[in-house]
Structure 1
Amino acid sequence: MRKKYYNLVENMKGKIRVFCRIRPMSRPEAVRGDATIVSCLDEYSVIVETARGQREFQFDRIFGSESSQEEVFEDTNRLIQSAIDGFNVCIFAYGQTGSGKTYTMVGDKSMKNPGIIPRTFTKIFEIMHENEAKFDIKVSAYMLELYNDRLQDLFVSPAEAFSKKIELKKDKKGLVFAHGAETKDAASAGELFALFEQGCANRHIAATKMNVESSRSHLIIGIMMESRNFTNGTVCYGKLSLVDLAGSERAAKTGAKDEQLKEANSINKSLSALGDVISALSSEQPHVPYRNNKLTQAMQDSLGGNAKTLMFVNISPSECNVEETLTSLIYATRVKAITNNAQRNMDSKEIAHLKEVGGLE
């Protein structure tokens, strides 16, 4: 009951929700004999042992290294219903390279432990199936990566993507959309997952000292859901953004060179711009610098916009990463202070009909 009422109050306040996930010790860390400096006080508090003593951070939920993918998704999946109901929803993951973001969002390579993205695909169509007598729901998606300050369409070949220009624009309801990107329809979770796999095959990935397969770009998936109510003819337009941010990092630590150094600089520049936006929003400054980077433009409706937003901050438990862990937790604390104004995107039967026949934008 406590959790139910807490969720209700947070939704009413419009606060961005922040979940913290602590990954297990990696094999190299264990072999080196690194000390564990992160612990959970309870399901809302995390403690970090630093050279200057203990620091405590509080979030909406803490997931320890033992937490399963199912547990993590359990607290996430009610947001999927909100997207189908016509809300703008964003779920994104942040953390240093090798902190477990992609495991949280995508899962392992074998898909024995799928993450939030594939579980979301399944959940969307489960909800659709449960409501097929009352609603007709259409699903479509786009998939982009922001690589070296350039937006690339992952639904086309890399060569074709390089020659395409994608622009981020906002519609009248304040929703960000990718003008020029391929949008594909999906009639099942399997179709949506196949599109996702096709997109992943076109992503930029490289090995770093921190991670065997490190994402060198930010991944942005937009899932649009149009839901028509058979009873009263109203139409709801929901958008679900799933964002797997590239790792924040120091080049010296990851061993980045040449092209990888350029990639790292681009990643850090975009994350710094995101930090500026978060800082402006959390301190309620009159000007928010969304236009400084394509990443902040892409997330403009998710941070300080009209979305129900959930951030995962992924951290390492090892003493060798204490600086990055503290930086990530401070960043996430700022995000938690941001208020959004989530509103349902819905048209009446008459307006929906006019749109269909081309009478309205």
Structure 2
Amino acid sequence: MRKKYYNMVEDMKGKIRVFCRIRPLNRTEASSGSGPVVDCLDEYTVAVETTRGLREFQFDKVFSKLSSQEEVFQDTSRLIQSAIDGFNVCIFAYGQTGSGKTFTMIGDKDLKNPGIMPRAFQKIFDIIQENMSKFDIKVSAYMLELYNDRLLDLFVSPAEAFSKKIEIKKDKKGLVFAQGAETKGAASAEELFALFEHGCANRHIAATKMNLESSRSHLIIGITIESTNLTNGSITFGKLSLVDLAGSERAAKTGAKDDQLKEANSINKSLSALGDVIFALSTEQAHVPYRNNKLTQLMQDSLGGNAKTLMFVNISPSDCNTEETLTSLAYATRVKAITNNAQRNWESKEIAHLKEIILKLKSGQPMEEEV
């Protein structure tokens, strides 16, 4: 009953929810004389001063520059329970370069202020611990980056990653998986976090005029949660996708040249493809162009379909970024218009038993006759 009513409440909030987070003015902006043009009017409304007057945008939640990482995760954490209950859940961050996406999703460099990803790892295993007597829960994960239109496995060395071929596939339940990528099990939050740290060390970053450590790739973590009910034997399959998108950028602002320019073009191309998918979903078009880019293929079970999705739009308050801020807010408004129909991924004890028999037969194991 708890699961039923909890998920009913989440559904009533909307299948795709959008949270907006305004970061504080940074030192570069303050020293150059830039001033704030963005204001948090209330917990649902953000206002931007423009040359044509004040523009307001409404979202499911707006976090001001004073909001802590704990506050940001508080409402987000409820979706972790949905993933364990057998739903497809996706949490992703969008915004221009330097708007605070990686801080929101990962945290600061020394993780004194951890973001959504490390907090989600802990929450998963807190819930598992609370339900040990009722459920047997197995957790596994893959970690990828989309860099210059190539999918790279972050669980292996960079040299090995460039030599591996990873293909995006869908299983019979409609869940997207990366064929060829390492999937590793984790028995604790510490193990999952260690895998995450190892993967982050292999990710592409670089300094730009907008950001000292700009993400040059999209980061995608897929966490699969298989839960067996110890009372009736039914099995649910939940998937939590955590996505830190690289920032949209203009070369003139970031000073990107040569390899960085190539990276920026690839990032902007994939974000444009994501925008096309969002437009098609929000206007309920018959054809949704998921296949136009690897990013949209990877996020196919997160946007549209049966997913519960939360988007963070991260914005700068500075007047020097007004144009990019308005673009990001308009993009996020379109995402909010998408309607999904979230459904659990589960199978009965009988189906699970038949699958076990088939696997044994395929592997040549002897079968005992059932009386």
Q: TM-score, normalised by structure 1?
A: 0.96
Where 1:323 maps in the other structure, the secondary structure is helix
The structural deviation recorded for 1:305 is 1.9
2:195 is paired with a residue whose SS is helix
What's the counterpart of residue 341 of structure 2? Answer: 341
Using the TM superposition, give the Cα deviation of residue 179 of structure 1 relative to its aligned residue in structure 2, in angstroms: 0.7
Give the direction of change, closer, same or farther, for the CA distance of 1:11–1:356 in structure 2 (3 Å limit).
Answer: same
- What is the letter of the counterpart of residue 205 of structure 1? I
User: Secondary structure of the equivalent of 1:357?
Assistant: helix
Partner amino acid, structure 2, of 1:310: L
Shift of 1:359: 5.2
Identify the residue that residue 76 of structure 1 maps to in structure 2: 76
**Which structure 2 segments of 5+ residues have no match?**
363-371
- Contact kept in structure 1, 2:15 and 2:342, CA below 8 Å: no
Shift in Å, 1:358:
3.0
Contact 2:146 2:152 in 1 (8 A): yes
Greater Cα offset, 101-110 or 10-19: 10-19
Q: What residue in structure 1 maps to residue 313 of structure 2? A: 313
User: 1:263 is matched by which residue type in structure 2?
Assistant: E
Partner of 2:369: none
Alignment partner, residue 179 of structure 1: 179
1:150 and 2:150 equivalent? yes
Name the aligned partner's letter for residue 224 of structure 2.
M
The alpha-carbon deviation at position 312 of structure 1 amounts to 0.2
Q: CA deviation at 1:244?
A: 0.2
For residue 12 of structure 1, report the CA deviation from its aligned partner.
3.9
Change in Cα spacing, 1:10 to 1:128, as seen in structure 2 (3 Å) is closer
The aligned counterpart of 1:260 is 260
Distance in 1 separating the partners of 2:359 and 2:255: 57
Q: Which residue of 2 aligns with 1:48?
A: 48
Paired residues for 1:159-238 under 5 Å:
159-238=159-238
SS at match of 1:271: helix
Q: Which amino acid aligns with 2:101?
A: K
Native 8 Å contact 1:145 1:203 kept in 2: yes
> Structure 1 9/282 Cα, relative in aligned 2: closer, same or farther at 3 Å?
farther
- Matched to 2:269, the amino acid is K
Aligned partners of 1:172 and 1:99: how far apart in 2?
A: 38
Question: Counterparts of 1:162 and 1:217 in 2: how far apart (Å)?
Answer: 14
CA distance in 2, matches of 1:208, 1:216: 10
Compute the displacement of 1:319 (Å).
Answer: 0.3
Partner of 1:282: 282
Does the CA contact (< 8 Å) of 2:92 and 2:311 recur in 1?
yes
Native 8 Å contact 1:174 1:306 kept in 2: no
Is the Cα–Cα contact under 8 Å of residues 14 and 341 in structure 1 kept in the other structure? no
Whole-angstrom distance in 1 between the partners of 2:127 and 2:100? 28
Residue 297, structure 1, aligned to residue 303, structure 2 = no
Q: Which residue of 1 aligns with 2:367?
A: none
Give 1:285 deviation, angstroms: 1.0
Contact in 2 for aligned 1:92/1:244 (Cα 8 Å): yes
Distance 2:214 2:52 in 1: 31
Cα offset for 1:171? 1.0
CA–CA distance in structure 1, aligned partners of residues 164 and 123 of structure 2: 32
Report if aligned partners of 2:140, 2:186 keep a CA contact under 8 Å in 1.
Answer: yes
Which structure 1 segments of 5+ residues have no match?
Answer: none
* Kept in 1: contact 2:84–2:225 (CA 8 A): yes
Identity %: 82
Match of 1:243 in 2: 243
Partner AA of 2:276 in structure 1: D
Q: Which residue of 1 aligns with 2:104?
A: 104
The structure with more radius of gyration: 2
- Give the Å deviation of 1:230: 0.6
After superposition, give the CA deviation of every residue in 1:106-154 in whole Å (9 maximum; x if it has no partner): 0011111000000000000000000001001000000000000000000
Match of 1:38 in 2: 38
2:61 counterpart of 1:85: no
TM-score by length of 2: 0.94
Q: Distance in 1 between matches of 2:38 and 2:72?
A: 19
Q: Distance in 1 between matches of 2:28 and 2:261?
A: 24
Structure 1 distance, partners of 2:75, 2:328, is 21
CA deviation map 1:58-93 (0-9, x unaligned): 000000000000000001001000000000000000
